[in-house]
Amino acid sequence: MKHFVKLFIALLLTLSVVHAKEFVIDSTHSHVGFSIKHMMISNVKGNFKTYSSEIDFDTEKKRFTTLNAKIEAASIDTGIAKRDEHLRSADFF
């Protein structure tokens, strides 16, 4: 799941950052979320409320040189308190 979140952030930034050299994700205008199939019946959606990231982009080579992302696992929110408590346990993170 951690890799999925990092990949999601990288894809978002690939689409939105074209000419930037340094970029810091503004949590007011961004979202880190997920959707997981539960028991092959429904999708559970949630998000992380606390995260940060910094990106360096080489405009000459047109590639990312650095991606540092930090997502606080304890900030997970699926809308169901008992589920969130379980997700915060050692079983998951």
Give the global pTM: 0.63
Half-sphere exposure of 25 (CA within 13 A, CB side): 22
- Dist. CA 83–CA 79, nearest whole Å: 8
Q: Which two tokens stand for residue 93?
A: 């993170």
What residue ranges define each of the domains in the chain, with the CATH number in brackets? 2-79 (2.40.128.110)
Q: In this predicted model, what pLDDT tens digit does every residue of 24-35 receive, in sequence order?
A: 777 888 889 999
Residue 72: pLDDT above 90? yes
Half-sphere exposure of 31 (CA within 13 A, CB side): 7
- Dist. CA 83–CA 77, nearest whole Å: 9
Identify any residues that bridge with 21 across adjacent strands, giving them in sequence order: none
